[in-house]
Amino acid sequence: MLRLEAVARGAFHVSVSAASAAIADAGGWVVSHSLLSDAMAVLSFEIPGDRLDDLVRELGARGLNTGRPPGSVDPLKDIAGRLTLAFSQGTGDLRRDVPAIQ
């Protein structure tokens, strides 16, 4: 499995949507995701082997810089991958203040 990592400096939901759009624009699709508070998101995806460089470029264009992982991939096969987004502004806490009902 291909593993990519990026640090997101934008808003949580905006960055997750941008990553999803980058995967789609590179010809891939999101298979599943895990949202870990507001500190981290993990997107599992598949992408055609010949579109890996496009994915890295699409992510970078959206401010999610990641390098192309070492090693070769078969350009004729789909690649299963996982993109981990770590949020620099994440607190790990999604509690919200709720006003008292009167």
Task: Please give the angle made by the CA atoms of 22, 26 and 30, to the nearest 5 degrees.
Answer: 65
Average pLDDT over residues 72-83: 93
User: For the domain 2-67+77-87, what is the CATH code?
Assistant: 3.30.70
Give per-residue pLDDT as tens, 3-45.
999 999 999 999 999 999 999 999 999 999 999 888 899 999 9
Higher pLDDT, 98 or 19: 19
Distance of CA 66 to the CA centre of its chain: 10
Higher pLDDT, 53 or 71: 53
pLDDT of residue 7: 95
> Greatest CA span in the chain, whole angstroms?
63
**Which is more confidently placed, 92 or 14?**
14
Three-state DSSP string of 42-74: EEEEEEEHHHHHHHHHHHHHCCCCCCCCCCCCC
